[in-house]
Amino acid sequence: MKKWIVILFALLPSLAMAAGANVHLDPANNDLSDKASLQNGAKLFMNYCFGCHATQYQRYERIADDLDIPKELMMENLVFDENAKIGDLVTNAITVEDAATFFGGPAPDLTLVARVRGTDWIYTYLRSFYADPSRPFGVNNTVFPSVGMPHVLEELQGTPIKQYKSVMVDGQQVEEFVGIESLGNGELSPEEYNDAVRDLVNFLEYSGEPNKLERQQMGYWVIGFLVILLILTILLKKEYWRDVH
C-alpha cells in the first residue's frame, strides 16, 4: 500500500503539467447569487456567442425563471428565432458543416464548458486574445494558442495588443511579455470589460449546473442532520452499554 502511495505522489507533478498547470489563470470571482450579473451574462452570451455556440441542454423558459427575466422580455430580446417557443432548447441555426468551413471545426456546445474547463480558465481565456495579423481572424490567444475562434468581444474590449518590457537576461537586453492591453478603441473601459467577461462566465457556470446554489444549500442541511444523528447515535450507544459496564 505504501508503495502505491509513493508512486502516486511521484506522478502528481507530471499529471499536473499534462493538465495545463503551467498556464496562469486569473480568478474569475463570479457570484452565482448575483441575478443582475447573470442577466447581463445571458445578454452577452445571446448577442456575442450564440451565433456559433449553443447551450442545447438548456431551455429558454428555465433561464427566464431562474434569472427573473419576464418571459415576454426573454422572447423579445434574447430569442432570435421567430419560430422558437419559450419552452424550446437553446439551439442555434449554424450547421456542423458550415462551422467546419468557417472555423476549421464545429463550434462546441457551451452548456457544460464551465464544468469542463473551469470558470478561471474561461475568464482568463476571454481576456487573453491579442492582435496577430498572421492568423485567419487577425487574433491569437495566449491561453489557447492558434485558436480558431475570432475575438467576438473585440468591439467591447477594443483592439488588444501584447505589451513587453526590456529586461536584462545573462547580460543581454531582451523583451519580456508582461500582459495584454487594449488600444482604448472599445466600448468599455478595461475594468468594465473585465466585469462583462465575469458576467458572461457567471452565466456559463449557471448553465452547467442551474441548481448549484440549491445543491450547496441542501448540503449544509444534510451535514447538519448527519452531525445531529451522530450525536444521537453516540448517546444511544452509551445508554445501551451503561448496564454492561
For residue 175, list its beta bridge partners. 166
Give just the sign of the alpha carbon dihedral 196, 198, 201, 205.
negative
Q: Maximum Cα–Cα distance for the chain, whole Å? A: 85
Contact 58, 38 (CB under 8 A): no
Cβ atoms of 157 and 173 within 8 Å: the answer is no
| Residue count of the chain | 245
pLDDT exceeding 70 applies to what percent of the chain?
91
The model carries a pTM of 0.81
Those residues whose C-beta lies under 8 Å from the C-beta of residue 160, and which sit 6 or more positions away, are 129, 130, 131, 139, 151, 154, 180, 181, 182, 183
If you average pLDDT over residues 215-237, what whole number do you get? 93
Whether residue 113 has pLDDT greater than 80: yes
* Domain boundaries of the chain, sorted by first residue: 2-152+186-208
Whole-number CA gyration radius for the chain: 24
Dist CA 114 CA 123 (whole Å): 10
Q: Is the pLDDT of residue 36 over 90?
A: yes
- Using CA atoms, how far apart are residues 191 and 197, in angstroms rounded to an integer? 10
Residue whose grid cell is 442577466 = 39
Going from the C-alpha of 208 to that of each of 18, 80, 117, 146, 230, the distances in angstroms are: 24, 22, 11, 26, 34
Where residue 2 falls among pLDDT bands split at 50, 70, 90? low
* Mean pLDDT rounded to a whole number for the chain: 88
Of the pLDDT bands very low, low, confident and very high (cuts 50, 70, 90), residue 215 is very high
Pick the CATH number of 2-152+186-208 from 3.30.1490.20, 2.40.128.20, 1.10.760.10, 1.10.1040.10: 1.10.760.10
Residue 3: pLDDT band with limits 50, 70, 90: low
Contacts for 209 with CB less than 8 Å, ≥ 6 apart: 115, 215
Lowest mean pLDDT among 30-39, 93-102, 208-217: 93-102
In this predicted model, what pLDDT tens digit does every residue of 87-104 receive, in sequence order? 999 998 787 777 777 777
